[in-house]
Amino acid sequence: MRSTWKDYDERDTLFARIRLRKGTKNYETYYRDKEERRQKDDPLRGDNFLQNLRESAAFKKKHLPLIEDFDRRAVRLHEESLRQRPAETKVDVTTEELFAFAKAAGACDVAALELTRADFYSHHGGVDGIRPAKEHGEPVRADYPRALIFCVGMDRGLLRFAPRFEALHATKEAYYRVAKTGAAVARHLQEKGHNALFTGEHHYIAPLVPLAERANLGQRGMLHVLVHPVHGPSIRLGAVFTDAPIAERKKPHVSIKDFCKRCALCLMNCPTQAIKPFSRDRPVFDEHKCYKMFQAYGTDCGICLKSCPFTYGIDSARLDEGRETIDRMVEEHLQKHGRIPKPLIKSPFRKS
């Protein structure tokens, strides 16, 4: 259990750490008493891993701009949303109406939570391209009492190509749809006179996986990310923070971890041994090993996502039937998809 709000500090996340530039004040201050971490982080610093994509120069010239465009458009949506102010007249909005709106705008699932200070990051880590770097280390303003947490599904057909470009495209395109959905929900709330801020890949004020776990949108599986009972780990998360008086709505609890303990396919297929067995029911993950894979392949890797049986659909009603049923479900998955599922479609990015 977390005891204080200081437990979530965005400066401690890998993406915040590896953006620190050597020789800057923020770098020196952050690593002053973290020598072991600095030694592990330094080799990951300053590399735009997309350039390491194992494709021809012509392929990269043609397709990498697509990826950069998803990022650019998502950042623009964040910036526009931050500039918008709530309408002067407040109009009631119900949780049900907001959930329906979020689903129509692209969410594949949604929940709502009451928040406390402990749910937010304590300090900004300068992860995104939206806040200026000087905000690194500034306290996060946690003045939103509620949040809508949602997920969007990734393109599972493209994910089967992991760790190639197609998987990277599936990831970035999904993050862009998170931004579109979040921006639409935030605008809807603002038009009804409520404060609203959406967060996604380029702008966070709170870690979303713990919020999604608390809302029962899924559980952190052995592969470390959130596993949704229907959509599996092939989702991306977003949130809209608001002062609108919506009611807390959690999803029914589904135990993913019992399945993980009999499965471990992500652990077996991970090329870097970044995924370890659970320790005290919590996933153990070596983020440096995983990120080195990103650097080596110039993609988001994604082999663990495409390995997970939940990516292909698991009958969650059977999860409570015990170990023998789960073993049968894993076996059924292996017979149908194999230990490392292969692509089923022709890549839209290749001639053959």
Which of 98, 154, 185, 265: binder of ligand SF4 (CB under 6 A)? 265
Footprint (CB under 6 A) of ligand SF4, residues 214-233: 221-223, 227
**Residue number with CB closer to ligand SF4 (149 or 308):** 308
Footprint (CB under 6 A) of ligand SF4, residues 107-126: none
Which of 107, 293, 319, 329: binder of ligand SF4 (CB under 6 A)? 293
Query: Considering the complex, what minimum distance in angstroms separates the CB of residue 264 from ligand SF4?
Result: 5
| CB count in 10 Å sphere of residue 235 | 28
Query: Considering the complex, what minimum distance in angstroms separates the CB of residue 30 from ligand SF4?
Result: 24
Q: Is 228 exposed, middle or buried (0-12, 13-18, 19+ CB in 10 A)?
A: buried
18 binds ligand SF4 (CB under 6 A): no
Compute the chain's Rg from CA coordinates. Answer: 20
Query: Considering the complex, what minimum distance in angstroms separates the CB of residue 107 from ligand SF4?
Result: 22
CB-closest chain residue to ligand SF4: 221
Quick note: the x/- pattern for ligand SF4 over 305-344, rule CB under 6 A, is --xxxx----------------------------------
Quick note: the x/- pattern for ligand SF4 over 244-263, rule CB under 6 A, is ---------------xx--x
> Taking the C-alpha atoms of 309, 305, 213 and 191 in order, what is their torsion angle to the nearest 10 degrees?
-120
**Residue number with CB closer to ligand SF4 (241 or 310):** 310
Which of 246, 270, 319, 326: binder of ligand SF4 (CB under 6 A)? 270
**Residue number with CB closer to ligand SF4 (97 or 321):** 321
Residue 218, CB half-sphere, CA atoms under 13 Å: how many?
A: 30
Helix spans in 105-204 (H): 156-159, 165-191
Binding-site residue total for ligand SF4 (CB under 6 A)? 25
First-to-final CA distance of the chain:
52
Given strand 146-153, what is the order of strands in its sheet? 109-114, 146-153, 235-242, 196-199
**Residue number with CB closer to ligand SF4 (112 or 263):** 263
**Residue number with CB closer to ligand SF4 (196 or 303):** 303
Taking Cα atoms as reference points, which of 157, 111, 127, 120 lies closest to residue 142? 120
Beta bridge partners of 203: 200
Query: Considering the complex, what minimum distance in angstroms separates the CB of residue 162 from ligand SF4?
Result: 8
Angle (CA) 31 33 35, round 5°: 65
Which of 113, 240, 301, 319: binder of ligand SF4 (CB under 6 A)? 301
Query: Considering the complex, what minimum distance in angstroms separates the CB of residue 20 from ligand SF4?
Result: 22
220 sits in which H/E element: strand 219-220
Question: How do the residues of the chain divide into helix, strand and coil, expressed in percent and rounded to 5?
Answer: 45, 15, 40
Coil vs helix vs strand at 50: helix
Cα 293 from Cα 53, distance rounded (Å): 11
Footprint (CB under 6 A) of ligand SF4, residues 130-159: none
Query: Considering the complex, what minimum distance in angstroms separates the CB of residue 221 from ligand SF4?
Result: 3
**Residue number with CB closer to ligand SF4 (27 or 259):** 259
CA-to-CA dists, residue 302 to 78, 166, 210, 216, 318, angstroms: 26, 10, 21, 23, 27
Coil vs helix vs strand at 313: coil
Beta bridge partners of 153: 235
Query: Do 292 and 272 form a contact (C-beta atoms < 8 A)?
Result: yes
Quick note: the x/- pattern for ligand SF4 over 72-111, rule CB under 6 A, is ----------------------------------------
> Which span sits near ligand SF4 by CB under 6 A: 169-177, 187-195, 198-206, 270-278?
270-278
Binding site for ligand SF4 (CB under 6 A): 221-223, 227, 259-260, 263-266, 270-272, 274-275, 290, 293, 301-304, 307-310
